[in-house]
A and B are shown apart, each in its own frame.
Chain A
Amino acid sequence: MHLRVFVEVENLGKAMNALTDSGITGFYVLEYKGMSPQDWKGFSIKEDPKSAISMIRDYATDAVLVCSVVEEEAVDGIVESVSKALEGEKYTILEVPIRRIIVNYGDQEKAERAETWFLEKEVPCFYCGEKAIQRIRIDTNKAKIWCNNCGAARYYTIKGAE
């Protein structure tokens, strides 16, 4: 089941904690601006783009959609948990059945090899001159070295490989 929980921004933390406590294992979050049917009722806007955009800026509410794929038998428990945590707050929950899921993990072996490396070296900082831990982060395509004392950072980018 695809569970979609629409909440106002200020209730995101409550919703996330309730979802986590009730056992969701993964999720994605979308920020959006929206208007509920009650707020929208009676509105009529001019059709030029400026009016439409200013209407969204002025009247629509900042909200968040938290989505998760969960086992069907877990849905009732999750909904109960979210409803309890958001009692008195505005929220909407959609339960959408899933016909099938296709997941491609890509080149998993290559992805595992491309992990980020973290190293440290204690030397005088190139900027503040203090002998301090210099942290080094190396990714596949970039690297960063920063001083733990003053925060000065040097950035490197991949040039090539052979």
Chain B
Amino acid sequence: MAADTWNLKKSASCFRCGDATIHDIEVDTYSLKIICRDCGFTRYYKFDMVNIP
């Protein structure tokens, strides 16, 4: 499993405030978080499963 947290950015319209702004995306092994820089609205995702071919 990846140990380091990835910090990514995405320009998109916020799901709550609707403004086109930067969203910070933090990805680590067990969670994923998306934060709107404009209104602070945050979506949390949790690790569910892994599929190894």
Q: Which positions in A face B, CB cutoff 8 Å?
A: 109-110, 112-115, 117, 119, 121, 123-124, 126-127, 136, 138, 140, 142-143, 145, 150-162
10 smallest CB-CB distances across A and B, nearest first, come from A156-B45, A126-B2, A151-B53, A159-B46, A159-B44, A153-B51, A155-B48, A157-B48, A161-B43, A126-B1
B27 — which chain A residues lie within 8 A by C-beta? 136, 145
Q: Which of B1, B6, B42, B50 contacts A155 (CB 8 A)?
A: B50
Q: Is the interface of B mostly helix, strand, loop or mixed?
A: strand
Please give the number of chain B residues whose Cβ is less than 8 angstroms from any Cβ of chain A in the complex: 31
Q: Which positions in B face A, CB cutoff 8 Å?
A: 1-2, 4, 6, 8, 10, 12-16, 18, 25, 27, 29, 31-32, 34, 41-53
Q: Which of A112, A119, A124, A143 contacts B45 (CB 8 A)?
A: A143
